[in-house]
Chain A
Amino acid sequence: MIGAIRELGARVTAGVEGLGRVARFGGHLVGAVPRPPSRFGFFVRALFDAGVLSVALICLSGFTVGMVLGLQLHTTLTRFGAEEGLGAVVGLSLVRELGPVLTGLLVTGRAGSAITAEIGAMKSTEQLDGLRMMAIDPLHFVALPRALALTIAMPLLNGLFIVFAIAGAYGVGVWRQGLDGGVYLSGLEDAVLFGDDVGQSLLKSLVFGLLLGLISTYKGHSCAPDAAGVARATTSTVVTASVCILLADYVITALWGV
């Protein structure tokens, strides 16, 4: 009985300690931003890996999601004689929720996991220790450019996703289902507002990018230095980041006040 309680206590303590380590890591990361030398070249490379290489995936996924939305919603709305509402429903659901969340999850799988695996492999082959030997802070040299790149890439990819999804829904709704193109676009533009909807979308994708940047670099830095450790850290990044993104999505939506 006492043993079980002790076990519970140990788990809670370990959880809180883990949170504290993430927070301290995040603090170091933020503190490293203004520190010279500038790692702009590394940042550009990381932006290429995380952002540019995700473009094809994001565009294709966005277009497909838009097509499915167009087909499903048009069919459902027709039942209520409200197919003119397609633009409004597609626009609001994409801009407010589907765009930032799906982009966040896709980038987590596509880029976040790769960053954890890369840093983890560097750690297990003692490259990070090598950097430390040369008095180079691995946080500043390795983690920071990647975390920043994810934060910057996320809103941009979110914009791409939404635009391609709007086009996908246009394609299905207008060319296949025979809705008028003008009705679709004007419904979309009437329903979506800059402050409430696009602003919320941008804030969400920025927060998701920050979260993913923090989690993926932290997991890489803290992974056990062997093959199994890298594998566990990579899995853990995808799981933790996905859950955090979905939770943060609810929190932001609730605080924003819909």
Chain B
Amino acid sequence: MQNHATRDLIVGLFVLVGLATLAYLSLQVGGIEFGAARRIRLEATFDDIGGLSVRAPVRIGGVKIGQVSAIGLDDESRPKVTLEVDDDVAISSDSSAAIRTAGLLGDQFISVELGAEDDALAEGEAFQFTESAFSIDKLVGRLVHDAGVSD
């Protein structure tokens, strides 16, 4: 039976180590959250969202506070972005949301510039001020157009 006990122990260890690697992959690498931090949903309407995609990060001064949860059109067919933001971050009601790009070709994210008001945005409220995606295409187009006009 000695043999059996040792073997059972080794099998048990194998299962534990295997589960530990799966837990590492899920928790640390995969970033699953149990009892996820409570989040509130905010909305922001833009003229042009460029290449923004769902799950893009929302940042304040570079620090991640949430992510884009949905992208759609509002009643007037303007691009509307829904953001999920940690509810312990107070975002004053006159804050503005801008779509920025990390680096020249990097992924797009939403940068929140805090305002000065005391009261914070609550669940479901929308940003009053937004700044659309900066598009190199448009900039080049405008340059070419302006050059054409000045001739």
Contacts and interface: CB of A to CB of B under 8 A. Distances in A.
B29 A91 contact: yes
Contacts of A226: none
Contact of B25 (A44, A48, A52, A95): A95
A10 to B, nearest CB: 46
B18 A194 contact: no
Given A155-B18, A201-B25, A194 B31 contact: yes
A160 B7 CA distance: 20
A198 B11 contact: no
B32 interface: yes
Interface in B21-36: 21-22, 24-26, 28-32
Interface string A186-207: 0011001111011001100000
Contact of B21 (A44, A160, A194): A160
B65 to A, nearest CB: 15
A192 B22 contact: no
Contacts of A195: 30, 32
A156 B31 contact: no
B37 to A, nearest CB: 15
Contact of A198 (B14, B18, B19, B25): B25
Given A44-B11, A52-B11, A95 B29 contact: yes
A248 B32 CA distance: 26
5 contacts: A44-B8, A51-B15, A52-B10, A189-B29, A192-B30
B17 interface: yes
Q: Secondary structure of the A side of the interface?
A: helix
A163 interface: yes
A173 interface: no
Interface in A94-110: 95
A147 interface: no
A49 to B, nearest CB: 10
Given A44-B7, A159-B25, A55 B30 contact: no
Dominant secondary structure at the B interface: helix
Pick from B7, B18, B21 the residue with the most CB of A within 10 Å. Answer: B18
Contacts of A44: 7-8, 11
B26 A194 contact: yes
Contact of B18 (A156, A188, A189, A193): A156
A160 B17 contact: yes
Given A55-B14, A159-B21, A162-B21, A198 B7 contact: no
A189 B11 contact: no
Nearest to A197: B30
Residue from B17, B22, B29 with most neighbouring chain A CB atoms (10 Å): B29
Given A44-B8, A48-B7, A48-B10, A188 B15 contact: no
Given A159-B18, A160-B17, A51 B28 contact: no
A155 B25 CA distance: 12
A189 B31 contact: yes
B32 to A, nearest CB: 4
Contacts of B32: 194-195, 198
A91 B11 CA distance: 28
A188 B29 contact: yes
Contacts of B31: 189, 192-194
B6 to A, nearest CB: 10
Interface string A115-132: 000000000000000000
Interface in A149-199: 152-153, 155-157, 159-160, 162-163, 166, 188-189, 192-195, 197-198
A45 interface: yes
Nearest to B10: A52
